[in-house]
Chain A
């Protein structure tokens, strides 16, 4: 999982970069002073690399699609309803769920940095944290959506939500046609990360594509 014991070479086998040196310097000093525990660092990495991720959010979305009473609770109090499924924790203390409908398309950005609902989506992808997305999502959301492959008709309202460290957003995408009667697990299998950020739709499954 971790290769921090290999202190002699960078991952490419080339000389260490200045950044790699600085990270190692901080880690070694903090460990020596007893301020951080290397095992705790490994555990944190493992959690965010393998346990917390968009599969959690897909479970929430699929459950909401399958159970109208859960969906109502989810839209009423996102964090509380998400916690019912066991997802809670850092950077998800106050989560608000935004429902996409045939008339409203919600999308989420953090113009200042990178706020994102970690318990349900994990750590944000690079593009979400990048200058192009942060700058333009609020300036030209329809253009951004088009660039990312989503054409939103003119009669559909686009709402852009700028995250803060206090409030983080999860988009509840529209359930595609052709998924009637699917199990929650099957539904969760088609929900993508980007659909829960509001920069993609969940496509209708091709015939016979049921998982």
Chain B
């Protein structure tokens, strides 16, 4: 199926921005999101194609507006819920709890 992820041949997406001496990760959360994806993948409930398919379900406008590891995070949440490892309710409750506890 085609979709926003199927970018080969699209026009108008702008110049290529190549960063010199680029770090492997740009933010601390990217490290954790990467490792969580790998470690959760090792549980064996899905394979690499299913991870990519999950990321591809992101709404197109959101996909274009977010970064690579945000795609990974979005896909991981979806897979964890689909496979019954976490529920949407407990994820949202934990996010809300962390937000309340975080400094403003």
Contact = CB atoms under 8 A, between A and B. Distances in A.
Interface string B70-104: 10010011001000011000110011001100111
Given A15-B104, A44-B38, A135-B7, A26 B27 contact: no
B75 to A, nearest CB: 10
B28 interface: yes
A148 to B, nearest CB: 7
Contacts of A53: 24
A123 B37 CA distance: 14
A46 B69 CA distance: 17
A36 B33 CA distance: 12
Contacts of B6: 111-112
Interface residues of A, number: 63
Given A23-B36, A125-B19, A165-B48, A49 B31 contact: yes
Contacts, number: 169
Interface of B: 5-11, 13-19, 22, 24-29, 31-36, 38-40, 43, 48-49, 52, 55, 64, 68, 70, 73, 76-77, 80, 85-86, 90-91, 94-95, 98-99, 102-104
24 contacts: A4-B28, A4-B32, A11-B27, A11-B28, A16-B102, A20-B29, A22-B73, A23-B29, A25-B94, A26-B77, A26-B80, A26-B91, A30-B40, A41-B35, A49-B31, A90-B38, A125-B18, A126-B22, A132-B14, A132-B17, A135-B8, A135-B10, A136-B16, A137-B8
